[in-house]
A and B are shown apart, each in its own frame.
Chain A
């Protein structure tokens, strides 16, 4: 690689990694994901374990006759008496099962408000009590059949008669999709700004007499790729360490055993990932090259990212494996092609010729976009007051 390109890349990398804002952006993603996971665990925890414990005083008025008369919850004959007991805080929780419970499928719960009560699950306690009493009346087999409390191993075969493991095969391509998405979100704006910066700071005339436009742009893109890899490493290295540390656990073994490493799919994803990033970089830097200021460039990032993530809006369609006009459009439309292609490799819904066409498209377009950026930057770099092209103004 050209020395000047490497010097530009080194400068661009060093100036970013020295900034706290870079590390804030890099660390924000794993921290947000961690916080999201923590919240989901906290929210889902009460659903698994109702907050009703043995000390909770419960009464039930069962007019439907599900429970035996001598059950310990039968403290009040009427609904009114039960509600009054709750209000006077003689009991914590009162359930009323009406006589037409089987028809209406509705019972009532009464208690004193405690906080917003968004996540408490006291209503689940009645279900647990009823199930406990009813299960004595039926066999375990009948209970299992009625409650559906069992799992079904869903074994599928490929058209070749081999056992299929669609989810296991999709994991690695999905990792590439996630990595690309993160790259787009974190570095999209930076890519736009990296080229416009020279013009805005009036440095381009000086710098272009020291380094060619080609080496300057390629160096900048190279730097962003390295910075993107740092971002992805920050996100995935903790996951890999976690996987290694907990490799003995049953859950981790299940997950690891499920992952299928298909060499062709892996190679396809690596190629798609590299050229997807180059194509995205080409788009962003081209916008940077044609716009005179950072402010002008910034208004393009939204439409570009929407174009890139378009396949996510049609996720169900993409994952269904169905191939129709819309799926084909998303697969080969330059902005949406990266995620659509990697997504279709994940679900195995793209044919080999289709994949080859997609890869060729990404390679050709990324090279064209970067070359166009270099030419445009060379042309516009010293036109500090250059106006946007008419079609972009519109």
Chain B
């Protein structure tokens, strides 16, 4: 299977602070990949650098063999960042159409209306975003993320703030995109989700990889423990030392 993401010897410093020391991993086409680590371990920094929002101190971060450019028509990437927001004063449909057009979606209006109908927001299409509840806004953000058949979805703590209904919706959509052959990188703290959904994963600590590979291989490496326990063990090392 070909790699859709390749990260080679990635190092990132902000001033004197080293966030990522030497990170290398790949994400394969069509797989669901878990990107794990505690808060501040460098997961979001890695993703932002992969998407060109930060410049790496050194190393290579490639999507489909190239540095990511937002307007490159090569690979469509859907990104649901941890810090989420929308244009509050604009209507739901105008916001979605705008993002759709920027992502090169030709029938952005039709697609958006179809999506809004699916998630039960069709009657809110002409409402201002600020009039929507938090959960409804998250559905709109999710719609924007999966527009234009992405080949790579990057979801940074996707279930954060989602109620159980929206969480189910999100999982359904992840399944659908996966079935279409989309590779998915999931940054999450929920290890049960990783065990259930992910094919492979990487566990980051202090800017280096502490575990990397297929879920079963990682578990085997740590004596058959659950991912939850592995996470606790890795992050508990420091305290024990």
Q: How many residues of chain B get a CB closer than 8 Å to chain A's CBs?
A: 27
Number of A-B contacts (CB under 8 A): 70
- B228 at interface by CB-CB < 8 Å: no
Contact B71 A209 (CB under 8 A): no
**Set B83, B103, B144: member contacting A202, Cβ < 8 A:** B83
- Determine the chain B residues whose CB is within 8 A of the CB of A378 once the complex forms: 53
Chain B's closest residue to A200 (CB) is B85
Contact B79 A382 (CB under 8 A): no
- B116 at interface by CB-CB < 8 Å: no
Contact (A15, B85) CB under 8 Å given A7-B102, A209-B53, A210-B103: no
Complex interface residues of chain A between 1 and 24 (CB less than 8 A to chain B): 2-4, 7-8, 11, 14-15
**Set B70, B83, B84: member contacting A209, Cβ < 8 A:** B70
Q: How many residues of chain A get a CB closer than 8 Å to chain B's CBs?
A: 25
Complex interface residues of chain A between 180 and 222 (CB less than 8 A to chain B): 197, 201-203, 205-212, 215
Chain B's closest residue to A210 (CB) is B102
Which residue among A3, A207, A381 has the maximum number of chain B CB atoms within 10 Å of its CB?
A207
Chain B's closest residue to A202 (CB) is B85
Mask for A58-79, Cβ within 8 A of B = 1, else 0? 0000000000000000000000
Complex interface residues of chain B between 62 and 96 (CB less than 8 A to chain A): 69-71, 77, 79, 81, 83-90, 94
- A384 at interface by CB-CB < 8 Å: yes
- Determine the chain A residues whose CB is within 8 A of the CB of B111 once the complex forms: none
Contact B70 A211 (CB under 8 A): yes
Contact (A212, B77) CB under 8 Å given A4-B102, A203-B85, A206-B84: no
Contact A212 B69 (CB under 8 A): yes
Contact A209 B101 (CB under 8 A): no
Contact B70 A208 (CB under 8 A): yes
Contact A209 B77 (CB under 8 A): yes
- Determine the chain A residues whose CB is within 8 A of the CB of B87 once the complex forms: 15, 197, 201, 203
Question: Closest Cβ of chain A: how far from B21's Cβ, in Å?
Answer: 22
Contact B83 A384 (CB under 8 A): yes
Chain B's closest residue to A215 (CB) is B71
- B99 at interface by CB-CB < 8 Å: yes
- Determine the chain B residues whose CB is within 8 A of the CB of A211 once the complex forms: 70-71, 102
Contact B70 A205 (CB under 8 A): no
Complex interface residues of chain B between 106 and 131 (CB less than 8 A to chain A): none
Contact A15 B90 (CB under 8 A): yes
Cα of A4 to Cα of B69 in the assembled complex, Å: 13
- Determine the chain B residues whose CB is within 8 A of the CB of A2 once the complex forms: 71
- B98 at interface by CB-CB < 8 Å: yes
Cα of A159 to Cα of B211 in the assembled complex, Å: 85
**Set B77, B83, B90: member contacting A205, Cβ < 8 A:** B83
Contact B53 A212 (CB under 8 A): no
- B198 at interface by CB-CB < 8 Å: no
User: 3 smallest A-B Cβ distances: which pairs?
Assistant: A202-B85, A205-B81, A210-B102
- Interface residue ranges, A against B (CB under 8 Å): 2-4, 7-8, 11, 14-15, 197, 201-203, 205-212, 215, 378, 381-382, 384
